[in-house]
Structure 1
């Protein structure tokens, strides 16, 4: 009895297996090689800026909890319009102002994150800072908050925030607004709700009314809009920026982005090209670890609010910290959860941007736990009605959908 057919069949099977293994190995080599070059490319996009020497030694102390894996993190997020002379420069020929400043606090247990907006028009005592043009030290003094970035860049802004809050800043991230457009495009748009048509001839911004997704210049126009939508200029814009960032975080963390390799790569490429950070965050490993921690916290626990403020008496066009701000800084400093009253006006990353319930009036003297907007939540029908009326009024004042 001949065994040749069986032998030939076994040889053919082994040949097929060898071919499959060789093919698989080749695919893995290509994938790993491509992954290496992708990693190196993304890593090379990030610009690191070491400002340690400019911060000095006289800084707030960190409060580190025992028996907790992580320490609380405070990251200063800065939106910069410093790209003078480039096509599409959104700030004109400015000295490089920080148009958006958010203090992002991650709790030690990584069970909550607060993004606290600081108004650009806030009048503060700025400490002495090294000028970013290398011309020596600026003596500081009473000034508008966003002047700190124009004078001394991220280092001066951090010194200013630490001086007024006594909260230690661990890291900083500067996002170029031109790169911001690419990040939104990589997500294939971010949902917004515009309560009424915008025809802003001053800023050359035109937006239709309704709920839709914005991309490119339209997205940038939405977050930069100061006129024609809200009653309160920069204050309304700050609240809309919080809502937009919450919506953007929702889109970026959603399964549709994380499970789509092309979209995820495009987003990471755009994001890393837009970033300048301290060396402690200037790697994909560090940024990826931070993103993973935010994802684990959960969208409903990533919350945005504004530091309480009031009118600056010498100039009604400027703002001052309200007395209630001290309690917010204290909570962040000690890594404590905000109280129910302090949480009025919070926007979460899980919220639907087409129905944003603002708990504060967003105006002078009524911000985030200031002025008692929304009452005490007593549960009475009249109180509920007052709360709803306050939320609707705040949404209208800030140019948001009620």
Structure 2
């Protein structure tokens, strides 16, 4: 019995049963370690050694929560809601306003990977102020989750710029080269174009088919969270905007989401947008708001270390290879499926590719796949599972922005919709691409 397969399946089953993701990960990590032949003490030791991998990200998320609450205290969310309400009242075509907001969110998510490489840092700052207006339009938040997840994943798996340069050039091509295949003449964008088209197919399906119907949310609960009783002045709004600009600049200059959020919070306090006497309570409440996501990221890092320690990732590929024979079609399908399973458990495409490349490249070369097909195979196998994984920041980020009022469930409203709309077409389009390249 393969420890990786059992651990990931158990984690998904427990999460779907509405058991908290952190608890699901902890139970699955222990079971996976024991099934993989590790003693309980070694399983715990491996889990503990992996916790540090997610600590930095968790602390960054906590500070982003504090910064987001500081912006709420400034009255910026209220001002944005008022502005959007006036815009929709003046417009004779409210659909145009609604779709304008959705397209703006999509553009911001895409640009967060390359033009303004701040990744998910924009979500807790920008999305909560938009929820009230979007709720009046009865926009399904599952649609927004799919829009943001598409924007967070597709750019890095297609364009070698920003995070894409890290994923495609440094990690994907670098790992394949280390595994013994020369890919200097491979056009990585051409290799990943068809899988990216599968992502686009999933997005269009979510927007125009699955979630096009209106969905009602409790406006009273949302109003309480949006602090409708807050008051804002031109000064407080100016300070809030300055804080946002400061956050983005600091993040770009020092490549630290943590320092960026801290700088933004400091500007809000020093500028008077957050009263000095309330600074401590706002900071604490904001950190609590994002603490759950941080714990998930830390626990996921621990589970990833346990799965690596069992050595069953390689075993899973070997077992799949035994079924392949000389069938390239079956080989491509099974390797993509294994990639999906591994990334669902680890929660990071960037961490999955180096693990898979060392095993996939020799096997694919032996079966006669072209270098371009191998790049597509490894890249798609790594990207599969980033959408839909309960422990991925591509799903945790959207949930952080959409669940500020407790009306958006991480598993059923983000993980499951993104899994179905992106992994299934990515699997199909990726398989076709591997076979034709």
TM-score by length of 1: 0.28
Higher helix share: 2
Decide which structure has the larger Cα Rg and report it: 1
Higher relative contact order structure (alpha carbons within 8 Å, sequence separation ≥ 6): 2
Higher strand share: 1
